Amino acid sequence: MIGKLLVANRGEIARRVMRSAHAMGIACVAVCSDPDAAAPHVAEADEFVRLRGAAPADTYLDVDALVAAALSSGADAVHPGYGFLSEHAGFARACRDAGLVFVGPPPEVIEAMGSKLAAKATMAGAGVPVLPTVEIPAADAADAAGGGTGAGGALDPALVERAAALGWPVLVKASAGGGGRGMRVVARPGDLADAVTSAAREAASAFGDGTVFLEPYVAHPRHVEVQILGDTHGNVVHLFERECSIQRRHQKIVEECPSPAVSPALRDELGAAAVAAARAIGYVNAGTVEFLFLPDGRFAFLEVNTRLQVEHPVTECVTGLDLVRLQLLVADGMALPAEVMAPTMRGHAIEVRLYAEDATRGWQPSAGRLHRVAIPTPAGVRVDSGVEDGSEVSAHYDPMLAKVIAYAPNRDEAARMLAGALSGARLHGVTTNRDLLVRILRHPEFLAGDIDTGFLQRHDPAVLGAPLADAPARRLHAVAAALAAQAGRRRHAGVLGAMPSGWRNNPSVPQTATFTGTDGPVAVAYQFDRTGRCVHLAVDGDTLDDVRCRRAGPTPSCSWWAGWAGGTRWSGPGPWPSWTRWTGPRPSPRSSASPFPAPSWPPAPWWPPSPARWSRWRWGWGTRWPWATRWWPSRP
């Protein structure tokens, strides 16, 4: 039985794995790089091991360091999460050789699916539909780079003929990689040699293998995948499909279950193909079989992801199953439970990936401190987040902040619920793709289910990702930010904290705050009078006569504050000027408790003086304003 689990990952997936493991009574060990030392996944673990360094190659991609961390912490098993080493056969084998349980498929299965060419050959033998393929070994690609008279060399004419038989355009793909690396679209025979050469060079650099292949280019297909689960007892089952067609840079950003394009009959056909693919390679644990939906209604095998997918929560929502729990049960040698062998699907779930990136500037990553991250979670909305208030978004790692999922009885309700939660999110400190996601969820094409991988080519991300707020709303947001900032400064002021912001004996010029907006700097000017009322607001020199500040921070008139300062009792109702009279015995300079009753409002009349033994008069302009104090004996 697994008693302690090392999670060889970071961010939201590390927290997600720990949540299920803790619910099963399994202790969790986190690993962290130097920038992640204060990350939420570290705080939620039972213990952690520091991986010295910041770069992924020195930390989360270091096989030896991760295995050593698992052994030194006394872990029984290792969960790789997704990304990093999750599909690294060498890591799975190193864990097994060290006596650790690897929560995933065997290394032999990972190796078999690591080559797209080998995977396609295996799938074709199992009767799974595949696209026709032309292999170009790394040596032939190198010959193309150096041979011929053209700028990009020349390919074997027979190879060019085989490419033509596929039909133009063709797609050049790397055999050993993914994520769009080593991928080129070739529309004409004359461009083939250059494309093959550059793709092979990129593949060799990224994956250590320059082998590439050709297949027919399918313009704007749908991308649909099927969740599979297998155990060591020979059971294999599929848990329905997921639609993953809306992508940027060949990476998914919106996923849903079920697919709006899949009928019940097609779902059965897809599921049978996915189970056949899993059985063909002896698959164990959780994985995904991915397919392309062609314009003519056919589907073709794309690849097998030998890990838990980012988008697994949508499957969990519609099936009611905990996929991480099932992974751990299978890794423990148990058979799949009965509810998994006969799964049912209810409702509709949609997930979006919230990234720290600027969709209007070519998906430029945004790094820095997240001052505020608050996403509404009404019933039906789930947030799997790797960050919290104050988290640092590092440039070293993937910029995904969180996954936001909505589950509802139907697709329209789920889309509306998810868009509403995102639009109400407070995300301060870094630029995100939140506005892009909201517009996608509200787009007529999306709501009609008419989506494919070309969605963000037809619809400009710079337009979809523009701020949801118009120019007047952005000006009001700048005003609110300026007033909230000053209220925070007053709340934490060491002295004169209850005085109005910018208070002076004589009226002074307005205070200013400048923000960086999407269209450039935004300058806000504001001024408070002596009663704490905001009497002037302006943005970029334009006075906002139709805007009123109802409240900014604590309201001093709603509470009294009293205390001791240097033997003199001082108190007041807030920043209003007032005559205040206090009577009673003179306190000791070292007194820490007040002998006076709580003051009342309005204050007692200042004349005539009280017959108490000691009387004190003061003129005050606030609760923490210095004043002269005079004591004298009262009349008998």
Between 636 and 32, residue with greater pLDDT: 32
Question: Which H or E run includes 299?
Answer: strand 299-305
User: What CA–CA distance (Å, rounded) separates 314 from 406?
Assistant: 8
Q: What pLDDT sits at residue 150?
A: 40
Between 505 and 462, residue with greater pLDDT: 462
Output DSSP code: residue 1. Answer: -
505: which residues sit within 8 A by CB, 6+ positions away? none
Q: What pLDDT sits at residue 250?
A: 85
User: What CA–CA distance (Å, rounded) separates 587 from 86?
Assistant: 70
pLDDT tens, position by position, 263-283: 999 999 999 999 999 999 999
pLDDT tens, position by position, 411-431: 999 999 999 999 999 999 999
Q: What pLDDT sits at residue 146?
A: 54
Q: SS3 of 269, please? A: helix
pLDDT tens, position by position, 139-173: 777 766 554 434 445 678 888 899 999 999 999 99
> What ranges do the domains of the chain cover?
4-103, 132-216, 349-468, 471-480+487-543, 556-633
Residue 540 has pLDDT above 70, yes or no: yes
Residue 204 has pLDDT above 70, yes or no: yes
- The pLDDT-based confidence of 471 (bands split at 50, 70, 90) is confident
Output DSSP code: residue 605. Answer: P
- The pLDDT-based confidence of 531 (bands split at 50, 70, 90) is confident
List strands edge to edge, sheet with 381-385.
Answer: 299-305, 285-293, 222-230, 236-248, 251-257, 348-355, 400-408, 381-385
CB 525 within 8 A of CB 590: no
Phi and psi angles of residue 596, each rounded to the nearest 5 degrees, phi first: -85, 150
Phi and psi angles of residue 318, each rounded to the nearest 5 degrees, phi first: -85, -20
The answer regarding whether domain 349-468 maps to CATH 3.90.1300.10 reads no
Question: Which H or E run includes 7?
Answer: strand 4-7
Show the DSSP H helices in 9-106 as ranges. Answer: 11-23, 40-44, 63-73, 89-97
User: What CA–CA distance (Å, rounded) separates 311 from 293?
Assistant: 19
State mean pLDDT over 605-613: 44
300: which residues sit within 8 A by CB, 6+ positions away? 129, 130, 131, 291, 292, 294
Q: Smallest Cα–Cα separation from 49: which of 14, 94, 22, 96?
A: 14
Question: Which H or E run includes 407?
Answer: strand 400-408
**CATH for 132-216 (3.30.1490.20, 3.90.1640.10, 3.30.70.980, 3.40.50.720):** 3.30.1490.20
CB 575 within 8 A of CB 528: no
- The pLDDT-based confidence of 602 (bands split at 50, 70, 90) is very low
State mean pLDDT over 432-461: 97
User: What CA–CA distance (Å, rounded) separates 321 from 161?
Assistant: 50
162-173 CB burial, b ≥16 within 10 A, e <16: bbeebeeebbbb
CATH topology assigned to domain 4-103: Rossmann fold (3.40.50)
Q: What pLDDT sits at residue 553?
A: 61
221: which residues sit within 8 A by CB, 6+ positions away? 245, 292, 293, 294, 295, 452, 453
CB 87 within 8 A of CB 62: no
pLDDT tens, position by position, 18-53: 999 999 999 999 999 999 999 999 999 999 999 999
Q: How far is CA 312 from the centre of its chain?
A: 15
The pTM of this model reads 0.81
User: What CA–CA distance (Å, rounded) separates 21 from 332?
Assistant: 12
By DSSP bridging, strand 348-355 and strand 299-305 are unpaired
- The pLDDT-based confidence of 318 (bands split at 50, 70, 90) is very high
Residue 623 has pLDDT above 80, yes or no: no
Residue 579 has pLDDT above 80, yes or no: no
Q: What pLDDT sits at residue 89?
A: 95
Q: What pLDDT sits at residue 506?
A: 76
Q: What pLDDT sits at residue 153?
A: 55
